[in-house]
Amino acid sequence: MNGPEVVFDEVSKFYGEVLGVNRVTLRIPSGITSLVGPNGSGKTTLMNLMVGLIYPDRGTITMRGLSPRDPESLMRITGYATQYDAAPRGTTGFDFVATGLLLGGYSQSEAEERATKALQRVRMIEAAHRKVASYSKGMRQRVRLAQAIAHDPEILVLDEPLNGLDPLVRAETIALFREYAGLGRHVILSSHVLQEVDIISDQVVLIANGMIIAEGEIRTVREEIHEHPSQYVIRCRDASRIASLLFEQDHITQIQIQDDRLGLLVMTRSRRDFSRALTRISLAGHTVESVVAADESMGALYEYLIGGDR
């Protein structure tokens, strides 16, 4: 029994001769998890495997203890918003959401009530009775999200859920993800927008060429990358003096004084030693206004682990 985790155990999937994912072993805890990787890396394959749209050639997957081969149970606790239009031809947004609920065994009135709530949640209630085919890209995205959340699932799987959303709806959608995660649920999403991943993710899974490159919290993943020195931006009054004090440390590899001479970009091989050195400098009476990690971001991780091409 795997409990409330999404677990991939040595999972491989091939599309004929083409590799989908290879020997993926993952444990995804509850919270917001972002799957990040270049096009064709295997993100959608992982998501489709989770919900049983495709099956692994090797290995096993469990979603909070349930198998993707059991959609009857799994899809009661899972909502999946695909990148593609799922609505059967001629369906209105409302019917699209309500139909999924009817199939789940809800009564007509309950399905309509839940569909209305879900559509209100994504600000689509006014357009609910228009045909999905007439929706804009952003509206389609929202109605898919409404369908995914309508049955209040424990696991939300979302393929590029923020694509095409305007800033206001985007912020509301992120708030929705946070709310779900706060309830101890899984929100697993893929995104190309690394700044967003930074903001919303509790943990990330980096994937390239069908293989998992790294997984965990962004900070933890960053700490595991030893070949790239960590970067910090220090804001202080006496930048030159602090720079010279830091240069005495073995672990410091590079320091750049910023143009306004009130800041430094410091590169260190040891975060712990850097922290200690900075404490000593502060205690010696030098004013350090702020210290910010400059490469504890998804962008940096992506560049270090996968390369520049997103």
Partner 1 sequence: MTTALRLRQVWTIARLQLGRVFFSKRSFWVYLLALFPSVIFFGHGLESKIRIQRMSSRATPPAIIETIREGDTEEEVLQRAGKPINDSTNRRRVVTKMGKLGKRERVEDNDEPERRYMMYFDGQNRVDLNFEAGILQRKRTRAILNFEEDRTVFAGVFQYFYLRLAVFFGCLGIFMNLFRGEMLDKTLHFWFLAPARREVLLAGKYLAGLIASVLIFGLGAALCFGIMLWPQNSVEVEAFWRTQGGSHLFWYAASAALGCLGYGSVFLAAGLLLRNPIVPAVVILLWESINGILPAVLQKLSVLYYVQSLCPVPAPMDSNAPLLIRLLASPAEPPSAALAVLGLLAVAALVLWAASRAVLRLEINYGID
Q: Which residues bind partner 1 (CB under 8 A)?
A: 15, 18, 20, 39-45, 48, 51-55, 71-76, 80, 82-90, 99-100, 102-105, 151, 159, 190
Enter the tokens of residue 54.
């495709």
CA distance 206 to 36: 5
- What is the closest distance, in whole angstroms, from the C-beta atom of residue 299 to partner 1 in the complex? 20
Cβ closest to partner 1, residue 185 vs residue 222? 185
- The answer for residues whose C-beta is within 8 angstroms of residue 223's C-beta and 6 or more apart is 271
- What is the closest distance, in whole angstroms, from the C-beta atom of residue 14 to partner 1 in the complex? 11
- What is the closest distance, in whole angstroms, from the C-beta atom of residue 39 to partner 1 in the complex? 6
Cβ closest to partner 1, residue 62 vs residue 268? 62
Cβ closest to partner 1, residue 55 vs residue 247? 55
Residue with tokens 């879900």: 118
Question: Is the four-CA dihedral 55, 58, 64, 70 of positive or negative sign?
Answer: positive
Hey, is 103 helix, strand or coil? helix
- What is the closest distance, in whole angstroms, from the C-beta atom of residue 155 to partner 1 in the complex? 12
- What is the closest distance, in whole angstroms, from the C-beta atom of residue 92 to partner 1 in the complex? 12
3-state percent breakdown (helix, strand, coil) of the chain, nearest 5: 40, 30, 35
Cβ closest to partner 1, residue 73 vs residue 253? 73
CA distance 198 to 235: 22
Q: Return the half-sphere exposure (C-beta side, CA atoms, 13 A cut-off) of residue 203.
A: 17
Cβ closest to partner 1, residue 71 vs residue 138? 71
